[in-house]
Amino acid sequence: MKINTKVATVCAASTLTIIGGALLSSCLAQVSTGAKPTAVRLVAVKDGPIGEPCSQTSQAGLNGCSGNALASADATLNRQLRFLFEQLPATGTARSHLVASESAWLKERASLCQLTSNAFAGGSIRSMMVSDCKTRADQSFGLQLKSLYVDMFQGSAHFARWPH
């Protein structure tokens, strides 16, 4: 599958990520205040489930793609959490520690992505950037959970395939 890529320029003065050539002029206008773009990178945007290309070109469409990717990442993470919870002993404190860890992580994700939200306040790109932040956080936490699972159960009779 081919990913639809757009050029993104990061303007140091505002820490604003601008997607596409049409919005590049906004970034360049900020450069006129003395700021210089610090990097140019390619950003992949997705239509639906993670890895699916985004065929949308409007900001509203890109926001929808990003929201769909977040819903997919949330569903995957929920499957992984449920799987790990079920693998843990019903007695003892392991399950309650997993629940407490998830709760703390959700607060951390909310705080981190609120920071992203503040950087794009008032912009039409805001919801896409927040969704992308949450999607990346979900993926990262899922990898941490998988690593924990492997450390705890690899080589045991309880070791089962990690859900995707």
Could you list the pLDDT tens digit for every one of the 164 residues in the chain?
233 333 333 333 333 333 333 233 343 344 445 554 443 333 333 334 445 567 777 888 888 888 999 999 999 999 999 999 999 999 999 999 999 999 999 999 999 999 988 988 888 889 999 999 999 999 999 999 999 999 988 888 777 889 98
CATH code of domain 59-153: 1.20.1270.180
pLDDT for the residue 45: 37
Cβ atoms of 109 and 137 closer than 8 Å? yes
| pLDDT at residue number 26 | 40
Domain boundaries, the chain: 1-45, 59-153
Supply the pLDDT for residue 149.
92
What pairs with residue 11 in β-bridges? 16, 37
Contacts of 133 (CB under 8 A, 6+ apart): 112, 113, 116
Alpha carbon 159 to chain centroid, angstroms: 28
Largest CA distance in the chain: 64
Residues in the chain: 164
Computed on alpha carbons and rounded to an integer, the radius of gyration of the chain in Å comes to 19
For residue 53, what pLDDT is reported? 64
The pLDDT assigned to 164 comes to: 83
